[in-house]
Amino acid sequence: MPTPVYLFTGFLDSGKTTLIKETMDDAQFMEGTERTLILCFEQGETEYEESWRDSHNAFVEYFDSTKELTTERMRELDTIYHPSQVFIEYNGSEPVSETLLQGMPDFWPLVEILTTVDATTFETFVNNMRGIMFEQMRWSDVIIVNRCTPDTNGRMLRGNIKAINKRANIFYEGKFGVPVELKSGTLPFDINAELIDIKDDDYGLWYMDCMEDPEKYNNKKVILRGIYSENIPGYHKSFILGRRAMVCCAADTSLCGVTVTGVDITQMKIGDWLEIEGTLKTVDMENGGKTVVLYASRAQFYHPLQDPYVYFS
């Protein structure tokens, strides 16, 4: 019977140990679990006390380096402990290894990656150590932002996280396990306005929210500004309008683009900056999901921005 593996990433003292302990305090999550093995690659202020380990039937193995976690070592630990589940508390300063992402043995499949983020230090870290944060969050299924207050800048948090990992589920917490409602919300514009004018600095936030919940924008009138980014083969009145988001560095960007239709593209070329006003319509994609298409009512050239990237801050 395969033993599920849960990987916890994040900086030292961002709350990984607390999250693991609270997860194991959840009777519903732990139902049917007999023995838990915790592999710990760094030690912060919070500890796995002996009394706590005994009460939860948990066992902890400490490692000095992530390179020590080989398939042979995993097989040895499986033989010693016969765990029902494995929690890996990873070293947040190291990128998640290929072994964990693609080389896990059949008897220890990786089922979920969770990342803890300290809201009080996030902006400093993302501005000064973006590459490390990118490696922490790029593969995450769940990102838990803790130590939030109602005044925490939710738009900045969400925008930066979604620029790194669009598919991750984000949860905002005050004290660990306690949800918090942010006064600012996560969007800098009024979704219910008669005409939603997406400002230059807000394009990235709009795009991420729209791709996450396209139905919310069905039949909404908007103004978007961006670059004529791509042609659509076979279509003479449609193109991709977009902006590029810096994911890790200037050499690593992703296109945040939307299809625009109903425009005379003969007067335009790739690289032109444009302002498009129109109505968004939700459409089905071949993979079963949904996206939006912007049906233009007005199109005009727009001045190039000095910095064309979308930073979400």
Domain ranges, ordered by start, for the chain: 5-172, 196-301
CATH numeric code, 196-301:
2.40.50.140
pLDDT at 177: 73
CATH numeric code, 5-172:
3.40.50.300
- By CB atoms closer than 10 A (0-12, 13-18, 19+), residue 15 is buried
Residues 285-302 have a mean pLDDT of: 94
pLDDT for residue 195 is more than 70: yes
- Tell me the pLDDT tens digit for each residue of 65-81: 888 999 999 999 999 99
Closest among 74, 75, 80 to 35, alpha carbons compared: 80
Closest among 301, 284, 302, 304 to 293, alpha carbons compared: 284
Q: What is the pTM of this model?
A: 0.67
Q: Report how many helices (DSSP H) and strands (DSSP E) the chain contains, helices first.
A: 9, 13
Side-chain-side CA neighbours of residue 265 (13 Å): 23
pLDDT at 259: 97
d(CA 164, CA 187): 18
Mean pLDDT over the full length of the chain: 91
- Tell me the pLDDT tens digit for each residue of 265-291: 999 999 999 999 999 999 999 888 899
Is 247 or 275 the better-scoring residue by pLDDT?
275
